[in-house]
Structure 1
Amino acid sequence: MVSNQQPIASSNPTPKLAVWKFTSCDGCQLSLLDCEDELLSLAAQVDIAYFLEASSEVKEGPFDISLVEGSITTPADEERILEVRRQSRFLISIGACATAGGIQALRNFADVQEFTDVVYAHPEYIATLKESTPISGRVAVDFELQGCPINKHQLLEVISAFLHRRAPQVANHSVCIDCKLRGNVCIWVAHGTPCMGPVTHAGCGAICPSYNRACYACYGPKENPNTESLCHWWDEKLNVENTLIVENLRNFNPLASSFKVQSEDRQEDGSVNPPKHW
């Protein structure tokens, strides 16, 4: 969502852009680098002051726009995001990790100490938080751009919107709409394949369904998703195992509110809590 925007100060003719990495795989930062020709145009409009994925040159803040990739997973992350927020006029979280926790947030549903004991020979050296959270769980965010990784065209639109003081025009419909626009045969209707497309935010171009593979919600929930109804259909009509339903809900966006609520409603023993409404 967009918070109350303040005009970028006219006293700074070239707005400063910063790109920050927290706990993540760098894929969303690479999406910006993949802009290629568009990146050259962007560089002519802003001063890329901090972007370690692209350059070792570092300029001091404050920054007009900060793009933040990754979740808050370590004590160092927790401290640094406060400083980033303090130095940023607008803060935009990008990608599944930054907007919904990412796969590292799966720790929130289990015992993180048990994980570290199993994985590391010396877990006492590991500094980590009990829970991994999206950026909005720690500081105020001016806009969230979903995706794993993000869509570079959507990213350019968001940056352009903030530079020109307007609301970003990012589609909020489901992947199903993109399937129809591509002329795809619905794999759910035609083949009975459980697909997350009806509740998933558009942005990928319906890549997976175009190759007869079910959508697995890498772009997180669309606006006002009826995730409860989708789970009901998977369960009652497609005979999908409860474990698989929970896995799909907790894939890349486990802390997205609509996904999190439904995954927690489904018990580990395979039972399903009574629905609140349909």
Structure 2
Amino acid sequence: MKKPRLAIHKFTSCDGCQLAFLNAGEALLVLSEQVELVHFSEAGLLDLKTKIDIAFVEGSISTPDEITRIQQIRDNSKYLITIGACATAGGIQALRNAVNYKEWLASIYASPETIRALDTSTAIANHVRVDWELWGCPVNTHQVLDVIRSLLFDAAPKIKRDSVCLECKRKGHICVLVAKQEPCMGPVTQTGCGALCPGLNRACYACYGPSENSNSIALGSWFKKNGRDSDKIARQFLHINNQTPVFHNAGNFFKGIKIVKE
């Protein structure tokens, strides 16, 4: 029986989500027996031309060449799944979207005119159709493997969008928001990490993006009521997933920028 073909592609990113595959260890060896791994630059496999059944994409679109390449990948792939904050929301590099990026180039590169970049850094879904999105910074290895297993059994992956708070309750963690007055983003962040930071008595950083029906402005107002500075609150929302509408609007709200509804 012919194995399904799988590819892992990189765009503008730190490679952390690709490394999540390598961190799978023995599970990756088992996976290699079930699928044919065609393209994976971190593992030394380079093939952009072969037709693919499952394509995972890491990173945001930041250059003209990346627009062309993601369109080719979409055309060659049965399923396209984005992994990580960069691919799903633009990532930390999307902070440049709010400034004149050419001024930044001039302050960093000796010859900025040689850099071919877009004015913005955007999510994959802004350019091609995406079948499923896996959030995180980095993505959770177990989530990725669960998606692959589902597709191998011809079943649609089920991706949870409930909040980190529910994960904390399931694990029996003490609520750092209530008990320690930490500025925890758990109430507005979707699960996927296993409530890693609250489990270590630290506030959630919202690595996994907004949960369903999250009220970010209400949470930020609670932070402010408990003495947190508005600028720091804005920075919490305008962080890893700064281009998601709910976080972007909340960040602008606490920066004092009027939100205009289209």
User: Alignment partner of 1:131: what SS?
Assistant: coil
Match in the other structure for 2:72: 83
**Paired AA for residue 133 in structure 2:** E
Q: Which has the higher helix share?
A: 2
CA RMSD of aligned residues (A): 1.9
Contact 2:82–2:133, Cα closer than 8 Å, also in 1: yes
SS at match of 1:53: helix
In the superposition, the TM-score normalised over structure 1's length comes to 0.88
User: In 1, are the aligned partners of 2:191 and 2:211 still within 8 Å (CA)?
Assistant: yes
Which SS does the other structure have where 1:228 is aligned?
Answer: helix
What is the deviation of 1:198? 0.4
Aligned residue number for residue 17 of structure 2: 28
Could you tell me how far 1:140 is from its partner in structure 2? Answer: 0.4
Tell me the distance in 1 between the aligned counterparts of 2:97 and 2:130: 22
Does residue 100 (structure 1) correspond to residue 95 (structure 2)? The answer is no
Deviation at 1:275, TM superposition (A): 11
Percent of residue pairs identical = 46
What residue is the counterpart of 2:174 in the other structure? 185
SS in 1 for 2:80: strand
Deviations 1:123-171 (A, max 9, x none): 1111111000000010000000000001111100111222222121333
1:102 Cα deviation (Å)? 0.5
2:230 to 242, 245, 267: 242
- Once residues 89 and 39 of structure 2 are traced to their aligned partners in structure 1, the CA distance between those partners, rounded to angstroms, is 24
Q: Quick check: 2:164–2:186 contact (8 Å CA) kept in 1?
A: yes
**Are positions 1:215 and 2:204 aligned together?**
yes
Change (3 A) 1:60 1:193: same
48, 59, 66: which one aligns with 2:55: 66
Identify the range of structure 1 (217-226 vs 89-98) with the bigger mean alpha-carbon deviation. Answer: 217-226
For structure 2, the 5+ residue unaligned runs are: none
Q: Find the aligned partners of 2:43 and 2:27 in 1 and give their Cα distance.
A: 15
Equivalence for 1:49: 38
| 2:53 aligned counterpart, secondary structure | strand
Equivalent in the alignment of 1:257:
245
SS in 1 for 2:42: coil
SS of the aligned residue for 1:67 comes to: strand
Query: Aligned equivalents of 1:76 and 1:59: distance in 2?
Result: 14
Report if the CA contact (8 A) 1:49-1:60 is conserved.
no
Contact 1:266–1:273 (8 Å) recurs in 2: no
Q: Kindly tell me: are residues 197 and 96 of structure 1, through their superposed partners in 2, closer, same or farther at Cα, counting changes over 3 Å?
A: same
**Offset of residue 59 of structure 1:** 7.2
Counterpart contact for 1:157–1:170, Cα < 8 Å: no
* Segment drifting more, 257-266 vs 200-209: 257-266
User: Deviation of residue 90 (structure 1)?
Assistant: 0.6
Q: Give the unaligned 5+ runs of structure 1.
A: 1-11
The count of residues paired between Structure 1 and Structure 2 equals: 261
Counterparts of 1:75 and 1:107 in 2: how far apart (Å)?
16
Change (3 A) 1:171 1:274: closer
Deviates more, 1:204-213 or 1:194-203: 204-213
> Does residue 227 in structure 1 map to residue 216 in structure 2?
yes
Give the whole-Å Cα distance in 2 for the aligned partners of 1:174 and 1:157: 19
Of 136-145 and 175-184, deviating more is 175-184
Q: In the alignment, is the contact (CA less than 8 A) between 1:228 and 1:262 conserved in 2? A: yes
Q: For 1:153 and 1:126, locate their aligned partners in 2 and report how far apart those are by CA, in whole Å.
A: 37
From the superposition, tell whether residues 56 and 245 of structure 1 become closer, same or farther in structure 2 (CA, over 3 Å).
Answer: same
Of 118, 122, 139, 1:129 maps to 118
Distance change >3 Å, CA 181–CA 275, structure 1 → 2? farther
Match of 1:195 in 2: 184
Cα 1:113/1:275, change in 2 over 3 Å: closer
The code of the aligned residue for 1:16 comes to: R
Q: Which one of the candidate residues 168, 173, 192 is aligned to 2:162? A: 173
Post-superposition shift, 1:183? 2.0
CA 1:78–1:59 in structure 2 vs 1: closer, same or farther (change >3 Å)? closer
Q: Give the superposition deviation at 1:40.
A: 1.5
